[in-house]
Structure 1
């Protein structure tokens, strides 16, 4: 049993349990948040290095061999996602220490945060399709609880929309698993890939579409995205940032995993649905953002829009390895940038007491450092060189050119311009224009941890841009692994199909 594969789940589960036991002590919860998040980052780095060296790392739980037992599998995509989850979790933990109230901490904020990270990491590492469903449900319970923490009316309204559509997704997911098990008689994803290749049935396409809809809802893809902008602007900003960074990416990860390992990407229907879904997700998300004038709602719609670029990479994977690598690169970039933009919005709220753009202004003059910290992730999201977003979009679009998907390439370019428009709107309203006559005074208390968190993520964004070559090499290696499923199958089952 390889402990490295278990630690990303075990660490947050242990930290969450201890935090729950010490819920009456704020110092204990703070210490566990810091220790747990740092330990998770360290284990994630170790896992990525080991996976880079060995290709795949497989752990059989209970020493039951696959396909009979439950396995955890780390390939390069899973290891990359675990590291991104750990970094986002650590940033959220430090930001939360400076922003989450005592009342929310007593309500179980930190145990729920650790539980959410455990669910996310479990989804990335599981090699069993039913356990992927289980980890999705762990995430749903933790995220719903975080969403309603505080009990405000807006939170409740957003939570109802959030949980309703996600329960529909869960029902479709479970139905697809049941049909798939009836067809092939196994739940191990590697074994499913082998046995499904021996089945000639129209039911395969039906099951694939069910999975696509279920994961599309989780990823907030068109036309199932409306739950996200209706809910992500309602909770504490640290919760919004954690959700923005990770939750939809688990849906994207599931699409990448299932539609490269189990189902045939050369199927014309799967290919066309992914292509159209990618384009429409990009366009509807960015148009929604352009129409908004509330900081976090703009950012929420842009989550939807940027999911389209990731789906574009997957949609073109069968004809362009570069496009799939670009999709993975874009995930790396987006998780860091999007979480950071939500953290910046929280700082703006602390200084001005509002997320409404019309009620903000003057922060460039009053807080030039914050203005710079906004510009870095904002311009990166818009795809300006030499930041990470430029290379992510460039690689995906170049893959689209290689594949001859000219309509999708055109959509991606237009969406990039409209993203720049949205970021410019925020800059003009929040930072550049004069402050309104009646602005809230900054609350007493230190914002040091908040600034440190935002600065750290901004530096990572710059580092990804300036060090794009090694990140691309890693993304390409992950893409090549995904497009050669026999390597995954052999690692799990011990023999080639």
Structure 2
């Protein structure tokens, strides 16, 4: 954190602060994204400039976040407070291994999606502020991962909402407007619950700084704190699209372009899942214990019901939306069993989902481009016509289901280990760990069935459903130069997913370090300079 030298003529809570140059790396990703978004908005009428500018800005953000992650892994959590007001009065950005890793993953997929987005963009689209909105969305996501204050988490949620509205309606098709209404209504409702919880929390504790809440929450009324935690669980559950407040996701994520769907699937729900993990496990652990049975039941329901929706769905991107929802159940499983393995499994699943769900929607966009259809009943014949795309899709289905040795296997392995340990030696009722293990395995099987069904209909079947299903499709469209660029960007992301799955050691070490700071946030509190022990 920043070093300080006190003066005698400043009010209580203020200090003259000298910030080391290395500490600025925590604020630069957010600042670059915000300034880049404003700058690209001014240059949106210049052909080619927005894309090049956005790529340069995101590369700068990635460089800063790599430096931040290395600093956190070497020295522990890092904190910086804006202005001369020190915590808990000032606005703090605080990064631990989880926050820094997720922010880096978000920036990497944003860079890839910027290249992929050229698939659906024409020369006339240069004035739609798409690249500016993408950077604004990245600013909100990065701020949410790095904030150390719950009210500022609310602010970053609002930034994400503004950017996502701008992205989801681009194209002005009736279907997009319908999706925006469904997406907006439930997300505004979630934001209202979040704001209500913040008001109650501030009234009870007099602070919204996460580190300060960890210090003072144990002395507050347990029943009142449990009510606040329940409101936060509801708000973040809606943001993450957990069952039963998940209907908005499959109703809206398939309506914009495939690039926007990929960004939404990779970033937005993962911020909600991360916020739930941070708020319930690290900030309000005592209240989480009271909510553990409800968390467990919701996790089990999300794990089992979501892939059933994917099996029943015929629209390709809507089906993938249900796969995204099923993954949120895996994250919640780690919250319900907050051992070190459980927390690490949740964190690793968030990282895996940022990459894998983004890539799944990207492949879906390529399929739609080649077939000219969104419904799997009107697709077919792509295996013979485009084997590389079929391989990418199959690899991602296996990763999403958690088949070894792909990336999705490792978080589910950690969660299974946590569930088995809970069933044997845990202090909570033994049914929870056992039920969670069965739910995770059922989710893997159902996800594999849903993905295999999609793959067979889209790629293995010769042509569209009907009398001509056994005859090769003659309506497939070849990819042009933009399409080949989109395919290359998708392939790079999938290769990265496979590589990490085959060599997970460094990532597992970082995730375990982050899980340790969530389970015992003493270092996180110390980074802000607040006195007292975290509970």
Structure 2 residue aligned with 1:100:
121
- 2:94 is paired with a residue whose SS is strand
Q: Are 2:429 and 1:408 equivalent residues in the alignment? A: no
Q: Within 5 A, what are the aligned runs for 1:382-421?
A: 382-404=401-423, 405-421=433-449
Task: Tell me which of 141, 144, 151 is aligned to 1:120.
Answer: 141
Deviation per residue, 1:155-187 (Å, 9 max, x gap): 111111110011111111111101111111112
Supply the distance in 1 between the matched residues of 2:69 and 2:283 (Cα, whole angstroms).
24
Deviation per residue, 1:386-439 (Å, 9 max, x gap): 111122212211211111111111111011101001111111111111134552
Contact 1:30 1:97 in 2 (8 A): no
Which blocks of at least 5 consecutive residues in structure 2 are unaligned?
1-18, 424-432, 465-472
Structure 2 residue aligned with 1:230:
251
Q: Are 2:498 and 1:469 equivalent residues in the alignment? A: no
Moved more, 90-99 or 438-447: 438-447
Q: Are 2:377 and 1:377 equivalent residues in the alignment? A: no
Supply the distance in 2 between the matched residues of 1:108 and 1:186 (Cα, whole angstroms).
38
Contact 2:32 2:61 in 1 (8 A): yes
Structure 2 residue aligned with 1:334:
353
Q: Are 2:352 and 1:308 equivalent residues in the alignment? A: no
Task: Tell me which of 399, 421, 429 is aligned to 2:457.
Answer: 429
Supply the distance in 2 between the matched residues of 1:264 and 1:349 (Cα, whole angstroms).
45
- 1:228 is paired with a residue whose SS is helix
Task: Tell me which of 489, 501, 519 is aligned to 1:483.
Answer: 519
Moved more, 194-203 or 358-367: 194-203
Q: 1:267 to 1:189 in 2, by over 3 A?
A: closer
Supply the distance in 1 between the matched residues of 2:509 and 2:167 (Cα, whole angstroms).
37
Q: 1:73 to 1:361 in 2, by over 3 A?
A: same
Supply the distance in 1 between the matched residues of 2:450 and 2:304 (Cα, whole angstroms).
13
Supply the distance in 1 between the matched residues of 2:416 and 2:222 (Cα, whole angstroms).
35
Structure 2 residue aligned with 1:196:
217
Supply the distance in 1 between the matched residues of 2:133 and 2:67 (Cα, whole angstroms).
25
Deviation per residue, 1:94-149 (Å, 9 max, x gap): 11134323444412111111000000111111111111101101101110111111
Supply the distance in 2 between the matched residues of 1:345 and 1:201 (Cα, whole angstroms).
47
Structure 2 residue aligned with 1:496:
532
Structure 1 residue aligned with 2:40:
19
Supply the distance in 1 between the matched residues of 2:223 and 2:477 (Cα, whole angstroms).
64
Structure 2 residue aligned with 1:325:
344
Supply the distance in 2 between the matched residues of 1:170 and 1:311 (Cα, whole angstroms).
20
Moved more, 276-285 or 244-253: 276-285
- 1:186 is paired with a residue whose SS is coil
Deviation per residue, 1:10-30 (Å, 9 max, x gap): 121122111101010121101
Structure 2 residue aligned with 1:442:
478
- 2:251 is paired with a residue whose SS is coil
Supply the distance in 2 between the matched residues of 1:469 and 1:36 (Cα, whole angstroms).
30
Supply the distance in 2 between the matched residues of 1:256 and 1:7 (Cα, whole angstroms).
25
Supply the distance in 1 between the matched residues of 2:461 and 2:288 (Cα, whole angstroms).
52
Q: Within 5 A, what are the aligned runs for 1:63-212?
A: 63-212=84-233
Q: How many angstroms does 1:73 deviate by?
A: 0.4
Q: TM-score, normalised by structure 1?
A: 0.97
Structure 2 residue aligned with 1:250:
271
Supply the distance in 1 between the matched residues of 2:310 and 2:413 (Cα, whole angstroms).
22
- 1:143 is paired with a residue whose SS is helix
- 2:246 is paired with a residue whose SS is coil
Supply the distance in 2 between the matched residues of 1:334 and 1:159 (Cα, whole angstroms).
23
Contact 1:104 1:149 in 2 (8 A): no
Structure 2 residue aligned with 1:456:
492
Supply the distance in 1 between the matched residues of 2:121 and 2:293 (Cα, whole angstroms).
44
- 1:338 is paired with a residue whose SS is helix
Q: 1:354 to 1:443 in 2, by over 3 A?
A: same
Q: Are 2:373 and 1:354 equivalent residues in the alignment? A: yes
Task: Tell me which of 287, 290, 295 is aligned to 2:308.
Answer: 287
Contact 2:110 2:263 in 1 (8 A): yes
Structure 1 residue aligned with 2:7:
none
Structure 2 residue aligned with 1:8:
29
Contact 1:100 1:236 in 2 (8 A): no
Contact 2:229 2:287 in 1 (8 A): no
Contact 1:190 1:261 in 2 (8 A): no
Q: TM-score, normalised by structure 2?
A: 0.90
Contact 2:40 2:50 in 1 (8 A): yes
- 1:39 is paired with a residue whose SS is helix
Q: How many angstroms does 1:7 deviate by?
A: 1.4
Larger Rg: 2
Supply the distance in 1 between the matched residues of 2:289 and 2:498 (Cα, whole angstroms).
39
Q: 1:51 to 1:372 in 2, by over 3 A?
A: same
Q: CA RMSD in A?
A: 1.4
Deviation per residue, 1:432-488 (Å, 9 max, x gap): 111345524336444222111111111111111111222211111111110112221
